[in-house]
């Protein structure tokens, strides 16, 4: 029983970590009024850049930062199109999702003699050291350091959004950019910065997959995580704490699927595969209720328009 409980917590946190990064990226972008469908693509870019940087520098911490920068660089494209040039935000995000796997594969092949996956690379440490509790059940609580970083970022983002002047401005820009503009807030700059941060977080998410959960980039390393993260943003009502909780819920359902499907209690895997979606609907109906997006979310701001 204790074994199962520890395993449940360990798997939940492991599974949810990349999602948390992606979801926090989604929150900051959407709170400023820019829909970021491109989270998935930015995570893919983060994943390949982290693995490559870790391989060439042999330092996973540098790799983690590089992944954030590369994610932000891709986000800059999104920001340029959708903020600066007021292009359709969904189209720009989808373009990034289509572009990113191609760029990742191209980069991988250029760096690693044409291979479609990277070699094994150094990865980020565990919180209690790599071999702590080895061989005991507690080893499952020896989480990746990225899990802690994700929690810290969630807290930081909550603080920034709700307790600082800049956070208030971000929210104002997302709700009513024209009003914010008349008060002297630079809407374009605020949104641009938020999208950049969004890409950086998503890049971290990719890194948390390829330099923590596994230690190489493969084409399937990021497969749909960005979209689950986007769902978590809506599920969590566009708040950092809500999105974090939603990611934990998704992770927890997966952990339940794993625990119920193995060992002595054997439920058919196809039934179990439905569990996460089933639980999501139940939680949505019973506990979450109506979810309202920031009012100007997805609407390009054009100065002077009514």
Partner 1 sequence: MEKLTRRSFLGVAGAAALTLAACDGGTPADGGDQPDDGAEGDGAEAAAKVIMVTDTGGVNDQSFNELSWAGMQQLGTDLGWDVSYLESKQDADYMTNLDKAVDAGAQLIWGVGFAMGAAVNEAALANPDVQFAIIDSTNDNGAPNLTGVTFKQEECSFAVGYVAARMTTSGKVGFVGGIDSEIMQSFEQGYYAGIEYANKEQGLSVTYQGQWAESFGDAAKGKAIAQSQIADGCDVLYHAAGGTGTGMIEACAEAGVWAIGVDQDQSHLAPETVITSALKRVDQAIYQISPQLIDGSLAGGSNIVLGAAEDAVGIAPTHDLLPDEVYQGALAVIDKIKAGEITVPKNADELATYKAGL
Q: Which stretch binds partner 1 (CB under 8 A): 82-90, 192-200, 213-221, 294-302?
A: 213-221
> Residue 91 CB, nearest distance to partner 1 (Å)?
19
Q: Which of 261, 279, 298, 299 binds partner 1 (CB under 8 A)?
A: 261
Contact of 257 with 273, CB cutoff 8 Å = yes
> According to CB under 8 A, which one of 113, 184, 292, 304 is a site residue for partner 1?
113
In the list 5, 56, 58, 109, the residue contacting partner 1 (rule: CB under 8 A) is: 109
- Rule CB under 8 A: is residue 129 a binding residue for partner 1? no
Distance of CA 125 to the CA centre of its chain: 20
Is 272 a binding residue for partner 1 by CB under 8 A? The answer is: yes
Q: Which of 9, 69, 213, 288 binds partner 1 (CB under 8 A)?
A: 213
Does residue 143 touch partner 1 according to CB under 8 A?
A: no
Give the total of residues touching partner 1 (CB under 8 A): 46
* Residue 144, φ and ψ in degrees, nearest 5: -65, 150
Nearest distance, CB of residue 26 and partner 1, angstroms: 19
Binding to partner 1, residues 221-240 (CB under 8 A): 221, 223
Binds partner 1 by CB under 8 A, chosen from 5, 91, 115, 148: 115
Our CB check for partner 1 shows the closer of 14 and 170 to be: 14
State yes or no: residue 214 binds partner 1 (CB under 8 A).
yes
102 contacts partner 1 (rule: CB under 8 A): yes
Quick check: 11 binds partner 1 (CB under 8 A)?
yes
Site for partner 1 in 173-202 (CB under 8 A): none
SS in 3 state form for the chain? CHHHHHHHHHHHHHHHHHHHHHHHHHHHHHHCCCCCCCHHHHHHHHHHHHHHHHHHHCCHHHHHHHHHHHHHHHHHHHHHHHHHCCCCHHHHHHHHHHHHHHHHHHHHHHHCCCCCCCCCCCCCCECCCCCCCCCCHHHHHCCEHHHHHHHHHHHHHHHHHHHCHHHHHHHHHHHCHHHHHHCCCCHHHHHHHHHHHHHHHHHHHHHHHHHHHCCCCCCCCCCCHHHHHHHHHHHCCCCHHHHHHHHHHHHHHHHHHHHHHCCCCCCCHHHHHHHHHHHHHHHHHHHHCCCCCCCCCCCCCCCCCC
The one among 80, 216, 279, 284 contacting partner 1 by CB under 8 A: 216
Binding residues (CB under 8 A) for partner 1: these are: 3, 6-7, 10-11, 14-15, 18, 102, 105, 109, 113-117, 119-120, 130, 134-135, 137, 139-140, 209, 213-216, 218-221, 223, 254-255, 257-259, 261-263, 269-270, 272-273
């Amino acid at each position: 029983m204790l074994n199962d409980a520890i395993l449940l917590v360990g798997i939940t946190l492991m599974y949810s970590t990349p999602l948390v990064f992606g979801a926090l990226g989604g929150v900051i972008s959407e709170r400023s009024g820019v829909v970021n469908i491109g989270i998935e693509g930015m995570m893919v870019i983060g994943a390949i850049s982290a693995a490559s940087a870790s391989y060439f520098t042999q330092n996973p911490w540098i790799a983690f930062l590089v992944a954030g920068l590369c994610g932000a660089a891709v986000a800059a494209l999104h920001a340029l199109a959708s903020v600066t040039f007021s292009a359709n935000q969904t189209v720009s995000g989808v373009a990034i999702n289509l572009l990113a796997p191609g760029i990742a594969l191209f980069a991988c092949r250029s760096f690693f003699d044409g291979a479609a996956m990277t070699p094994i690379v150094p990865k980020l440490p565990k919180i209690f050291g790599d071999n702590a509790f080895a061989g005991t059940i507690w080893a499952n609580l020896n989480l990746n350091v990225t899990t802690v970083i994700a929690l810290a970022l969630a807290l930081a983002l909550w603080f920034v959004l709700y307790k600082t002047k800049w956070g208030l401005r971000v929210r104002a820009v997302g709700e009513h950019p024209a009003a914010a503009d008349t008060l002297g807030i630079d809407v374009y700059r605020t949104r641009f910065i938020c999208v950049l941060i969004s890409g950086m977080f998503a890049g971290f998410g990719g890194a948390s997959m390829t330099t923590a959960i596994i230690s190489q980039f493969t084409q399937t390393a990021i497969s749909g995580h960005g979209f689950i993260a986007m769902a978590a943003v809506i599920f969590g009502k566009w708040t950092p704490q809500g999105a974090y909780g939603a990611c934990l819920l998704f992770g927890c359902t997966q952990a339940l699927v794993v625990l119920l499907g193995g060992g002595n209690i054997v439920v058919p895997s196809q039934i179990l595969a439905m569990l996460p979606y089933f639980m999501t609907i139940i939680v949505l109906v019973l506990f979450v209720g109506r979810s309202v997006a920031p009012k100007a979310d997805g609407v390009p701001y054009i100065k002077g328009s009514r």
